[in-house]
Amino acid sequence: MPRPQLSRRLLAALPFVLAGGAATAQSSPLDADSPGRPTWEAGFAAGGGRVADYPGADESHTRGIVVPVAVYRGPILRIDQGGIRGRLVDSAEWEFNLSATAAFNSRDTTARQGMPGLDYLFGVGPQLIYKGLGATTLHLKARALMSTDFRRIDGRGLSFDPEVRWRTRPFAGSQSQLTVSLQPTWASRELQRYFYQVDASQATPQRPAHAARAGYLGTELALTLRGRRSASLSWFITARGMSLHGAANASSPLLRDKSNLNVGAGLVWMPWRSSTLAPD
């Protein structure tokens, strides 16, 4: 596929989604669409944690990142922790927007010695949300995945990620909020190859060849606690466990651990904002 050049500055901003959508540091409730918020906000997010090298890896590394973040709440277009959405398709029960994901690269995993490293991975695609279940929402997401080494971009196939998400109201006497989500993932052959393919030329006595196939990748259970320290500073703590039992490529020698746990925490500082308020 084409491999367009892309500047380091642009790509450095892509992993902002790793902040877990915590870019809502206002004194009003944590609901992204609550009235009384500025039309736009800007600032920085910093986060870090212990992250598995890839789904099914038996090694993890401590990673960190600092990125700029921005929020815009216009009368038609809105860009916030909920994604990129047009309000013309936002009703009481249904919402349609774009969602994004991102993952760190992996260069020194023992299981992949002698194989190409994994680049930074990011994806974007449409998301249909059903909101008619009270505190529980259903998110139907499809994403196109791409990887980059900051010199080129390569297509990595598609994923389908239906998610059930439950969110508490802000806890009494605080502005903290817990979100629990359950998300299975199915991936195209191209994405599965990126993680689990072992060509004959890469095979060793300890790493037999494996032809990756499309199908079920795994299921993630995530808990995220968000809160606010001031009008411009918020925080988040997250734990994400992934089960790869029954995965389509469970027989790959690169899928060495069928249970992964990722943990992280971070701060979002949003000191700049408009004096005008967003429309309801």
- Tell whether 22 is covered by a domain: yes
Task: Show the domain range for 110.
Answer: 8-273
Angstrom distance (rounded) from CA 58 to CA 38: 44
Phi, psi of 54 (to 5 degrees): -165, 165
Displacement of CA 30 from its chain's centroid (Å): 19
- Tell whether 3 is covered by a domain: no
3-state secondary structure the chain: CCCCCCCHHHHHCHHHHHHCCCCCCCCCCCCCCCCCCECEEEEEEEEEEEEECCCCCCCEEEEEEEEEEEEEECCCEEEECCEEEEEEEECCCEEEEEEEEEECCECCCHHHCCCCCECEEEEEEEEEEEEEECCEEEEEEEEEEEEECCCCEEEEEEEECCEEEEECCCCCCCCCEEEEEEEEEEECHHHHHHHHCECHHHCECCECCECCCCEEEEEEEEEEEEEECCCCEEEEEEEEEEECCCCCCCCCCCCCCCEEEEEEEEEEEEEEECCCECCC
Angstrom distance (rounded) from CA 128 to CA 142: 9
Displacement of CA 81 from its chain's centroid (Å): 11
**Residue with the larger pLDDT of the pair 145 and 8:** 145
| pLDDT 10s digits, 19-55 | 333 333 333 334 445 557 899 999 999 999 999 999 9
Q: What CATH number does the domain containing 58 carry?
A: 2.40.230
Angstrom distance (rounded) from CA 101 to CA 120: 11
- Tell whether 235 is covered by a domain: yes
pLDDT-based confidence at residue 81 (cuts at 50, 70, 90) = low
- Tell whether 175 is covered by a domain: yes
pLDDT-based confidence at residue 74 (cuts at 50, 70, 90) = confident
What pLDDT shows up at residue 84? 74
- Tell whether 267 is covered by a domain: yes
- Tell whether 278 is covered by a domain: no
Per the prediction, the chain carries an average pLDDT of 86
| pLDDT 10s digits, 161-203 | 999 999 987 776 677 999 999 999 999 999 999 999 999 999 9
Closest by CA to 217, choosing from 252, 168, 167, is: 252
Q: Tell whether the torsion through CA atoms of 81, 217, 121 and 117 is positive or negative.
A: positive
pLDDT-based confidence at residue 8 (cuts at 50, 70, 90) = very low
Q: How many domains does the chain have?
A: 1
- Tell whether 66 is covered by a domain: yes
- Tell whether 2 is covered by a domain: no
Closest by CA to 238, choosing from 21, 69, 28, 13, is: 21
